[in-house]
A and B are shown apart, each in its own frame.
Chain A
Amino acid sequence: MKAGQQETRAMNGDEAVAYAVKQSDVDVVAAYPITPQTIIVERFSEYVADGKVKTEFVCTESEHSALSACVAASATGARTFTASASAGLALMHEILYVTSGCRAPVVMAIANRALSAPINIHCDHSDSMAERDSSWVQIYVENSQEAYDSIIQAFRIAEHPDLLLPVMVCLDAFFLSHTLENVKVLPDEAVREFVGNRQLPLITNHNGEKVPFKLDPDNPITMGPLDLFDYYFEHKRQQEEAMQKAAQIITETHNAYSQLTGRRYGNGLVDSYRLEDAEIATVCVGSTAGTTKTVVDQLRAKGVKAGLLRLRNFRPLPVRDIKEALENISAIAVMDRSNSFGGYGGPIFHELRHVLYDTSSHPYVVDYIYGLGGRDMPQNIIKGIYKDLMEIVETKSVKEYVQFAGVR
């Protein structure tokens, strides 16, 4: 497969996700069809109705039920997908832990939206950041092309026999989900070949026999039963081990996919932009990286040594890559599109600063909470952040560690 055989289509982020799911030979999609649901499952349900996919499509009465159905389907060995956002993801909270605890490799697209109240349907990362401890892999994409590419990669990552953890692909609501973009798509066969069939590792059953890891009446196994102080901790330790292996699986999958398409997103975990000789840098996830790259180019044209680190993965946190990319930077501004109320900055700041604490260079690290409820993040605000960083380098002091960018 060569990049030339790809077709360019005008799609918004939701459609790009639905198209990737259509091509990925998914057995079951269970979803709640109404708000805060996006066009993702609406478009996919059309594929089902038109007979373009063989997928079993289950409409449920809530997101809690949708994800429960997905866990059950996935436990039988089925390739499973769902989508949600905002309050829908919050309602799934309990089942997110059941999914990862049952090692069900469900793939879910999240159109990142604010949480009520007041009611808001627009973009911020409060929904998925609140689920960062649920043992789901989290990939944040910059544009609709990456949303398409990441969904296809996500099935191969989640179902990898060494991982078997669910994956969230997070795309910024409206900025990506509802905005038309040119998206290059692979032919159906190429995607099908890339995702392959779900491989089931062998597992020891209650009779000490090795059987495929799936619910099957001919080879019955029990998943996720009562597990008290004697073994629960061991099962959680296994999940952490899988997460630690995830980084390598993600990079391998990303590399294999790049060979197919010619597209790369950094090393698959982090995407560095003009960081090599940078003195100051920002760090963010999602579509803001696109605007920031433009600002970096403008600053570079004026001789300012500015750079950007976009985290593609927040879970697992690419600790080594963050250190390598940022340890020689003098001052770093994290841009958080969610807040941890009463904490010390937003979730990305917490982790970034924490990782960099170990570096001998001890860079200045500050945080800007921005864009809550879909508030725009225009170039001039990002420029202002880089200006603050220049001042920090010049004066060797920080006035405020946590600030709000773009609030009146």
Chain B
Amino acid sequence: MRDEQKGWKDIPIAGVCWKPATEYHTGDWRTFKPVRDQAKCTKCLLCPMICPDTAIKWNKATEDIEFDYNFCKGCGICAHECPVDAIKMVREGA
């Protein structure tokens, strides 16, 4: 929503999406942000699978998981499901 705002003459009809959904940063809505304790994390890779927004990815280069905060909506599922309690939900701006 941060991009330029087009007028009615410049957008496709019927609400047809003229750019991919990935350009819409749903992470804007977040109240709580998941923060991982690297020391506790066993890299079990459960959280990348269960995140409903695929906002947790495996980074081959670093051989570690990483959060994409552009799309993490802060639902807290990852924190709830992490078997070793490695993720804490922290209030944004706190």
Instruction: Tell which of B6, B8, B14, B21 touches A206, judged by Cβ atoms closer than 8 Å.
Output: B21
Cα A156 to Cα B65 with chains together (Å): 56
Known: A230-B5, A234-B8. A164 touches B13 (CB 8 A): yes
B12 contacts across to A, CB distance below 8 A: 203-204
B7 at the interface (CB under 8 A from A): yes
Dominant secondary structure of chain A at its interface with chain B: loop
- Is A200 close to B, CB under 8 A? no
Q: Is B39 an interface residue (CB 8 A)?
A: no
**Min C-beta distance of B44 to chain A, whole Å:** 34
Inside 8 A of B20's CB, which chain A residues have their CB? Answer: 206-207
Q: Which of B1-54 contact A (CB under 8 A)?
A: 1, 5-8, 11-21
Does A225 interact with chain B (Cβ within 8 Å)? Answer: yes
Chain B contacts for A102, CB-based, 8 A: 14-15
Tell whether, in the assembled complex, residue A208 and residue B19 are in contact, meaning their CB atoms are under 8 Å apart: yes
* Number of residues on chain B facing chain A (CB within 8 A): 16
Among residues 185 to 232 in chain A, which have CB atoms less than 8 Å away from a CB atom of chain B?
Answer: 203-208, 213, 221-225, 227, 230-231
Partner of B6, one of A225, A234, A242: A234
Complex Cα gap A221–B14 (Å): 11
A206 adjacent to B17 (CB under 8 Å)? yes
Q: Are B15 and A227 in contact (CB-based, < 8 A)?
A: yes
Q: Are the CB atoms of A205 and B16 closer together than 8 Å?
A: yes
- Looking at chain B's contact residues, is the secondary structure mostly helix, strand, loop, or mixed? loop
A238 contact from B1, B13, B17, Cβ within 8 A: B13
B14 touching A237, Cβ below 8 Å = no
Per the CB 8 Å criterion, the residue count for chain A at the interface is 25
**Nearest-neighbor residue (CB-CB) of B18 within chain A:** A204
Chain A residues lying within 8 Å of B17, measured Cβ to Cβ, are: 205-206, 221-222, 225
Provide the residues of chain B in CB contact with A164, threshold 8 Å: 13-14
Q: What residues of B have a CB within 8 angstroms of the CB of A230 in the complex? A: 1, 5
| CB-defined contacts of B14 to chain A, threshold 8 Å | 101-103, 164, 203, 213, 223-224, 235
- Shortest distance in angstroms between B42's beta carbon and chain A's nearest beta carbon? 37
Tell yes or no: A252 within 8 A of B by CB: no
Query: Contact partner of A223 among B6, B7, B16, CB < 8 A?
Result: B16
Query: When A234-B6, A234-B7, A237-B8 are in contact, do A223 and B18 touch as well, CB less than 8 Å?
Result: no
What A residues does B21 contact at CB under 8 A?
206
Verify B18–A235 contact, CB threshold 8 A.
Answer: no
Is the CB–CB distance between A225 and B15 below 8 Å?
yes
Contacts of A206 in B (CB 8 A): 17-21
Which of chain B's residues have a CB closer than 8 A to the CB of A7?
none
Whether A241 sits at the interface, judged by CB under 8 Å, is yes
Q: Which residue of A lies closest to B23 (CB)?
A: A206
In residues 94-116 of chain A, which contact B (Cβ within 8 Å)?
101-103
Chain A residues with Cβ under 8 A from B8's Cβ?
Answer: 234-235, 237-238, 241
Contact A213 B16 (CB under 8 A): yes
Distance in angstroms between the alpha carbons of A213 and B15 in the assembled complex: 12
Nearest B residue to A237, CB-CB: B8
Contact B13 A103 (CB under 8 A): yes
B21 nearest CB neighbor, chain A only:
A206
- With a cutoff of 8 Å between Cβ atoms, the chain A residues found around residue B16 in the complex are 203-205, 213, 221-223
Instruction: List, sorted by A's number, 15 A–B pairs whose CB atoms are closer than 8 Å.
Output: A102-B15, A203-B14, A213-B13, A213-B16, A221-B17, A223-B16, A224-B15, A227-B15, A231-B15, A234-B6, A234-B7, A235-B11, A235-B13, A238-B8, A238-B13
**Shortest 7 CB-CB contacts between residues of A and residues of B:** A234-B8, A237-B8, A103-B14, A222-B17, A206-B17, A204-B18, A203-B12
